[in-house]
Amino acid sequence: MLFFTQCFGAVLDLIHLRFQHYKAKRVFSAAGQLVCVVNPTHSLKHAPTRCAAAQTSPDQGTLPPCHHHEAVHDPQLVPCMCPLFSCPWEGHLEVVVSHLRQTHHINILQGAEIVFLATDMHLPAPTDWIIMHSCLGHQFLLVLRKQEKHQGHPQFFATMLLIGTPTQADNFTYRLELTRNQRRLKWEATPRSVLERVDSVISDGDCLVLNTSLAQLFSDNGSLAIGIAITTSNVGTLEAEM
């Protein structure tokens, strides 16, 4: 009977969770927005040093892995932009999207407005939720991170980064919006380039910051829905006219 009770309780929890996701999808779909349910991933940053990934050629064979005293300085290469892992990959900016999708299996959504539904907000820090957003001919990286800036006081940091250069990022504006129980919270800013790194953006505070109490006000049964909209900035147009 105890086993049956535990199994029955687990089934009820699963049904309730699926119902909450279905309800969120139905509400936001009615508003013409695409919903992506994003599961959490614990950060696995532990590699001490980043080095170039080994490459193979028919003539030279496999290059030996670099050691800690060997520094690789190629201005045309950028490191892996995935904030979840200490990935040793390096490559050109044009192939970052392919690397994130194929190696780290990060989902990509298309559309001017989408909803980022992060699940299991109660998990301990550090925890990350991440997707890619394809819009206006460019790809963006949305990162939601639960992190302790002060011991015992976790906070949530949400930011959007353009998979491109800082100059290209200045041409866009992104908006993050949380709505629940007649409450609404908006954050609007210019996206940062992935070349500036997620850690730097969070350290600078140039992102949406939620403490635990505020996150609970906008969460529903442990899930947080963030509406995302990206538009082109008028700065480039004004400068062109001047």
Give the helix/strand (H/E) hosting 142. Answer: strand 138-150
Q: Give domain status of residue 98, yes or no.
A: yes
Q: Give domain status of residue 181, yes or no.
A: yes
Q: Give domain status of residue 6, yes or no.
A: no
Q: Give domain status of residue 8, yes or no.
A: no
Q: 139 falls in which pLDDT band (50, 70, 90)?
A: very high
Least confident residue range of 102-111, 141-150, 206-215: 102-111
Least confident residue range of 25-29, 109-113, 163-167, 211-215: 25-29
Q: Give domain status of residue 138, yes or no.
A: yes
CATH number at residue 183: 2.60.210.10
The parent domain of residue 176 ranges over: 31-41+75-232
pLDDT at 63 over 50: no
Stated pTM of the model = 0.70
- And the tokens for 136? 């206006």
At 117-127, the pLDDT tens digits run: 999 999 988 88
Tally the domains of the chain. Answer: 1
Q: Give domain status of residue 197, yes or no.
A: yes
From the list 173, 166, 118, 109, the residue with the least C-alpha distance to 139 is: 109
Q: Give domain status of residue 3, yes or no.
A: no
At 40-56, the pLDDT tens digits run: 876 555 333 333 333 33
At 143-184, the pLDDT tens digits run: 999 998 778 789 999 999 999 999 999 999 999 999 999 999
CA–CA dist 229, 18 (Å, integer): 26
Strand, helix or coil at 187? strand
Distance of CA 149 to the CA centre of its chain: 19
Q: Give domain status of residue 69, yes or no.
A: no
